[in-house]
Amino acid sequence: MSIDPRISAPVLLRFGTAVMTAVGCRPAIAAEIAEHLVEADLEGVYSHGVFRLHWYAERAAAGKFNAGAEPVMATAEGGAPIVDGGNGLGIPAFRLATDHLITEVKTSGVSAIGIANVDHTGRLGVFAKRVADAGCLAIMFGGGCRKDWRQVAPHGGARGMLPTNPFAFGIPGGARGSVVVDFATSIGAGGKVYAAKIAGRPIPEGICIDAHGRPTTNPDDYFNGGALLPMAGAKGYGMALVAELLGEAILGEVMDGMNWIGVAIDLSRYRAPSAYTRAAEACLAELRACPPAPGFTSVEIPGEREAALREVLLVEGIPLPPQTLAALRDLGKQLGLSSEDML
């Protein structure tokens, strides 16, 4: 069995920053986007990692988003705060929205904000974790772009009709930090299919159907009229539908990405943080102590595996499938990156 080559995080960060600068992003935003993608890879969330650089470059060249945009605070039609992403990538827009939530919630106890006019937003859980690390409950989700991204079949359907419409929840945890749950309302994120195709590998069973509604593990079937399946059947479909209605019916027409909402609740308004931390750790410790089922080595808490893996990959480097690495190197050459920025 071949071993994927490993690239250090600093090298990938330098490369990613150079790529995003070359496609038109301002230097600070280029670095922010690159850091977001590298952090996803460090935590094993490869569906949102540096392979996305190739996709971002293609979308920028096609005019799908404005690479030079900078997000700004604005006001929605009904008077609520909203971040206008200026038709740029959503990562800096979500960071600005998260900054607002953390500042506002400490005064008001509850804060909510919309995010609109953005393209791909990266990994939602990163922003939920920031809110949770500030001692708050975070609830974030979005949708509204089904006209452009008919990726997921509704429960009982054989054709893609909805986007993946992700949700993320973050809450302060115990001794090991915040608990973060971040998931698409499809069984798997669309990025997993893209990553598999670029890497020349099959997708896991049970995620996708082909154009005839039949199960498939071939990523090409997804791109040729197939669809992802909703997670947990009717439950995932219901969550996706709620997000779709919020994204379009409440926040208005979307561009190629999604419209989003973020909510933060200051938990110190309910209980002293020290008491909460003790109670949370007691709950989490019980779950970790649960005997593992056959095929598992332990019961894990959402977010803890990612944090542990990050420490390992910072030392060992991030594994990249050979075809993914080759595609990124080709991208660097196409963009005319300097030899010191190349992989």
Per-residue confidence band for 8, with pLDDT thresholds at 50, 70 and 90? very high
Per-residue confidence band for 1, with pLDDT thresholds at 50, 70 and 90? low
Q: What is the model's pLDDT at position 255?
A: 65
Helix residue spans in the chain (DSSP H): 9-22, 27-42, 52-61, 90-108, 124-133, 190-199, 219-223, 234-244, 273-288, 304-316, 322-334
Q: How far apart are CA 244 and CA 7, in angstroms?
A: 38
Helix then strand then coil, in percent of the chain rounded to 5, is 45, 20, 35
SS3 80: coil
Residue 161's φ and ψ, nearest 5 degrees, are -130, -25
pLDDT in tens, 121-140: 999 999 999 999 999 999 99
Mean pLDDT estimate for the chain: 95
Q: How far apart are CA 55 and CA 109, in angstroms?
A: 39
Tell whether the model's pLDDT for residue 2 goes beyond 70: no
Residue with tokens 């429960």: 155
Per-residue confidence band for 182, with pLDDT thresholds at 50, 70 and 90? very high
Q: How far apart are CA 127 and CA 15, in angstroms?
A: 23
Per-residue confidence band for 33, with pLDDT thresholds at 50, 70 and 90? very high
Q: How far apart are CA 235 and CA 155, in angstroms?
A: 9
| Overall pTM surpassing 0.75 (yes/no) | yes
- The residue among 198, 227, 211, 202 whose CA lies nearest residue 327 is 198
Q: What is the model's pLDDT at position 114?
A: 96
What does DSSP say about strands 136-143 and 167-174: parallel, antiparallel, or unpaired? Answer: antiparallel
Tell whether the model's pLDDT for residue 295 goes beyond 60: yes
More confident residue, 26 or 1: 26
| HSE-up (13 A, CA, CB side) for residue 124 | 27
Give the mean model confidence (pLDDT) for residues 271-299: 97
Q: What is the model's pLDDT at position 254?
A: 75
Give the mean model confidence (pLDDT) for residues 25-46: 97
SS3 83: strand
Q: What is the model's pLDDT at position 252?
A: 80
Domains contained in the chain, CATH given:
6-284+301-341 (3.30.1370.60)
Q: What is the model's pLDDT at position 208?
A: 96
Give the mean model confidence (pLDDT) for residues 239-261: 87
Tell whether the model's pLDDT for residue 183 goes beyond 80: yes
Q: In what order do the strands lie in the sheet with 208-209?
A: 215-216, 208-209, 227-228
Per-residue confidence band for 77, with pLDDT thresholds at 50, 70 and 90? confident
Q: What is the model's pLDDT at position 230?
A: 97
What does DSSP say about strands 81-88 and 110-118: parallel, antiparallel, or unpaired? Answer: parallel
